[in-house]
Amino acid sequence: MIEANKKVINSACFHCGELCLDKDIVVNKKHFCCEGCKTVFEILDTNQLCDYYSLSNNPGVSQKVKVRQDKFAYLDNEQIAEKLINFKEQNSYHVLFNLPTIHCSSCIWLLENLTRLNSNIQYSHVSFPTKEIKIIFDSSKVSLRQVAELLTSIGYEPYISLNELDGKKDKPKFNKTKIYKLGIAGFCFGNIMLMSFPEYFSIDASNVKQFELVFRYLNLILSLPVFFYSASEFYSSAWQGIKAKFLNIDAPIVLAIWVTFGRSVYEILSGTGAGYLDSMSGIVFFMLIGRVFQDRTYNYLSFERDYKSYLPVAVTIKTENGEKAIPLADLKVGDRILIHHQELVPADAILVSKQAMVDYSFVTGESIPVRKNGGEIVYAGGKQTAERIELQVIKDYSQSYLTKLWNNEIFNNTNDGTPSFIHTLSKYFTIILFSIAAISSLYWLYNDVSKLLPALTAVLIVACPCSLLLSATFTNGNILRVFGNNEFFLKKSDVIEKISKVDTVVFDKTGTLTDSAEMDVIYDGEILSENEWRTIKTITASSSHPLSKAISSYLQKYETIELNSFNEITGRGLLAEYSGNNYKLGSAIWFDKVTSSKSPEVFIEINNKFKGRFQFKNHYRKGVDAMILKLSKKYNLYVLSGDNESERYNLSQMFGNSVQLNFNQTPQDKLDFIHTLQQNGKNVMMVGDGLNDAGALKQANCGVVLTDNTNNFSPACDGILSSSKIKKLYEFILLGKAAKKIIIGSFILSILYNFVGLSFAVQGNLSPVIAAILMPVSSISIVLFTTGLSSFYGWYYQFKN
């Protein structure tokens, strides 16, 4: 009997490459792990798009979780569709979809051949880094909903969120003006340099002399775009600083640019000299390179998401005329809403259906779904994990329990905190510079008045804090690059400095230290036969409850069988029959067992005889323990968990006794906790993952979000860290700290250059040659010093460069 069962061949799915563990469908000698994958293959096969499979191996995405059929019904709603469509040209509609599952060259190929799947799609263009597809379709023949459904049918479900709908138009695009400014500055700098050569070598031959004036005036003309256009970058930022009564680093730089330009114009017009236009344009050019290098942002990642990104765009409501999809904004108190499997409850509501299994892990951090009975309140943000439920809305979606957190003032606070130490450094630099200028002026006032002005201007020209700006921008830019290569993406380069100040690290538990997708299973009970294990494996494989899934994967080595009967009782457990034996698996309440354990358990009964139980432990991410150990030597560590205390013992073993563990924390508690730490003078880094950490992430000096997929939804934060790299958190912090040392080191180097330059300047004889040599030499050496040293540190901490 048992031998007759088919042997499980763990062949990989032709479509997605996952092992066909529970199911193995064979079509054309190709294996598929689920119906979904097979369907996608069939669609592509009938349309002769099977090249998709030859471009890369198993390019698809698992289709095990089916997309509900009417999911995109709301796109028929004109109001919503209008917001998504970027541009209309008669019947040609332009739309941009975000497809998070784009991951390989096959994806690009297939998506750019959409026309072959549906000839009414006129054009499709993929942008791989942003995972976006631009589609132009004929609106008279195909609707927006059909386009979205076509994409879904081939495994690329578009991600449409409320946040994007509302703010689609003002999505920050990469600012190109800085590149234009850089290009123009580079052009002018090169040409001015070229035409200054006769001046550098002071060629006295009379036939060269006659061109001197021509060269000087050409230089003057070439310097105008640099002075008025390229350098405006610094003017605006300096002006903003002054308006805010704060002297930032750009203010002394602007002063130096103006003085240099003014003196050069005077010299050229009066015919007394060639000026320092080459130095001026060179400085502007190098500083712009630094700025562009530093500002390279990950604009395809979103660092500003709030609860709106998580809520569905539309909800299905029940009216007298049947079901209807309406935009979320139109949802009123009292509406009856229908929530399908795996959908989020958008507003606080009362459960009308008998039962629901709500997964609150996103909102509260509890790892196990909660059972709700009819009449109970289901809070917004919970995800229904069983069949479709009906609810009655009791609060507006913008006033729910979930969104209350965003009313905290911290979310309205746009202040970035204390200004960078670079500005403080530049302030002292400026004060010292002014004293030197004043002293040398005083000296010349009494000795040789004619040299006063040249000396004064020369001091200001030579000793501008440009090198300080260069050190900061190039160091930060390079560290940002190293971080990015190691899957730690920062919102802005300022975050590096925030990381360097951290002295306290706070972790969330669920999803951060633990991997919420996996659980460790322990069996405790009688020894079961192979046959019984197989039956249990089959029973659990048939259920979608997370605990069943965990057991099923724990029993991976067992083969599945054909059950005689199977019944899932939501919120209680599973009943099944196999060859005359009755199996019952389920929760403690169902079995009337009293259990002391706070962690979830699943009991097993065979023919009404208790056999044993499964216990579940959180699965900690790889390398977390070693990382914590390293961190705990230097930093204060805390764990805030929305979960119950069942993991206290495990955690205290891992963290040692020096770490404070807090359980049952609400999102508000977490925020307050961080606030208290800060009031005690701590610089806090918060590492979290879900919406339940959103407040704490925002409150913390540096909020880091952990994610399995950088395109996943992550709450507003300063940095996004790939979850596989959490083990390197300690090294990331060290590298952040190294950045500050490098900046200060290169600043000292630049002061040495300044001494050389100033020694000429105070004497009032700064020749253009010296200025022209000093400027590029100091700039380039600082660029090399900072990028080289920061790359060295990256290598030293074993980062991929």
Taking CB under 8 A as the criterion, the residue among 195, 624, 685, 782 binding other proteins is 195
Is 118:142 a contact under the CB 8 Å cutoff?
A: yes
**What backbone phi and psi angles, to 5 degrees, belong to 254?**
-60, -40
Residue 17's closest CA among 3, 30, 1, 4? 30
Q: Which is nearer to other proteins, 174 or 795 (CB)?
A: 174
Binding span for other proteins by CB under 8 A among 186-194, 261-269, 621-629, 667-675: 186-194
CB of 44 to other proteins, least distance (A): 12
129 binds other proteins (CB under 8 A): yes
Q: Which helix (H) or strand (E) holds 149?
A: helix 144-153
User: Is residue 48 a contact point for other proteins (CB under 8 A)?
Assistant: yes
Q: How far is the CB of 458 from other proteins (least distance, A)?
A: 29
295 belongs to the binding site for other proteins (CB under 8 A): no
Q: Minimal CA–CA distance to 61: which of 99, 109, 27?
A: 99
CB 294 within 8 Å of CB 249: no
Shortest Å, Cβ 297 to other proteins: 14
CA distances for 607 relative to 530, 578, 585, 762, angstroms: 17, 11, 11, 99
- Amino acid at the residue 198: P
197 touching other proteins, by CB under 8 A = no
Q: How far apart are CA 160 and CA 327, in angstroms?
A: 12
* By the rule CB under 8 A, 57 interacts with other proteins: no
Tell me: does residue 566 bind other proteins (CB under 8 A): no
Alpha-carbon distance of 186 to 177, in angstroms, equals 14
Q: Is there binding between residue 130 and other proteins (CB under 8 A)? A: yes
Least distance (Å) from other proteins to the CB of residue 348? 42
Tokens of 66: 């089916």
Taking CA atoms, 577 is separated from 4, 371, 574, 590, in Å, by 18, 25, 10, 18
Selected range binding other proteins among 45-53, 352-360, 594-602, 603-611, rule: CB under 8 A: 45-53
**Residue matched to tokens 């919503």:** 80
180 in contact with other proteins (CB under 8 A): yes
Find tokens 């073993």 and name the residue: 653
Binding piece for other proteins, criterion CB under 8 A, among 6-14, 185-193, 525-533, 666-674: 185-193
Nearest to 247 by CA among 422, 413, 416: 422
Residue 137, class by beta-carbon neighbours within 10 Å (0-12 exposed, 13-18 middle, 19+ buried)?
buried
Residue ranges in 145-174 that form contacts with other proteins under rule CB under 8 A:
174
Q: What minimum distance in Å lies between the beta carbon of 412 and other proteins?
A: 33
Residue 116 binding other proteins, by CB under 8 A: yes
Q: Which is nearer to other proteins, 131 or 534 (CB)?
A: 131
Alpha-carbon distance values, 99 to 17, 155, 690, 722 (Å):
20, 10, 21, 19
CA distance 223 to 278: 8
Q: Per CB under 8 A, does 660 bind other proteins?
A: no
DSSP classification of residue 353: S
> Which residue from 214, 431, 439, 442 is in contact with other proteins, where contact means CB under 8 A?
214
The answer to whether the beta carbons of residues 62 and 35 sit under 8 Å apart is: no
Q: Which of 101, 153, 191, 544 binds other proteins (CB under 8 A)?
A: 191
Q: Does 118 bind other proteins (CB under 8 A)?
A: yes
Identity of the residue, 118 or 399, whose beta carbon is nearer to other proteins in the bound complex = 118
Q: Is 101 in the site for other proteins (CB under 8 A)?
A: no
* Out of 8, 21, 76, 187, the residue judged to bind other proteins by CB under 8 A: 187
Phi, psi for residue 522 in degrees, rounded to 5: -125, 130
Q: Does 598 bind other proteins (CB under 8 A)?
A: no
Q: Which is nearer to other proteins, 113 or 237 (CB)?
A: 113
Give contact residues for other proteins (rule: CB under 8 A).
Answer: 46-48, 51, 55, 105, 108-109, 112-113, 116-119, 126-130, 174, 176, 179-180, 183-184, 187, 190-191, 195, 207-208, 210-211, 214, 218
